[in-house]
Amino acid sequence: MRAWLLYTIARVGIFVALFLVLFLLLGPTWWWVAAIAAALMGAAISFLALNRLRADAAAQLAARREGRASTADLDAAAEDAEAE
């Protein structure tokens, strides 16, 4: 499984769990407060607890971007060779 997908699923899971707990504590009238609080707390928790997953996802995305840049360089070189 890709690291960014696992990281995203973990973040969404943290948000949903926090939202459900806060929703049950505050009640349906204050659902928007529960959503905002869950988003803020979820961001802080995921920043602290999911450090390794975040680093793996960033490394995977950087490697993918470098791979695309190298194929673009190969295409540009091929076009330059044809133009000469």
Q: Is 50 helix (H, G, I), strand (E, B) or coil?
A: coil
> What integer pLDDT is reported at residue 84 of this predicted model?
64
Cβ count within 10 A of residue 40: 11
Per-residue pLDDT reduced to its tens digit, 41-56: 999 999 999 999 999 9
> What integer pLDDT is reported at residue 10 of this predicted model?
95
Whether residue 72 is predicted with pLDDT greater than 60 in this model: the reply is no
> What integer pLDDT is reported at residue 23 of this predicted model?
97
Domain range list for the chain: 3-83
User: Which of 54, 23, 53 shows the shortest CA–CA distance to 38?
Assistant: 23
26 — pLDDT class (breaks 50, 70, 90): very high
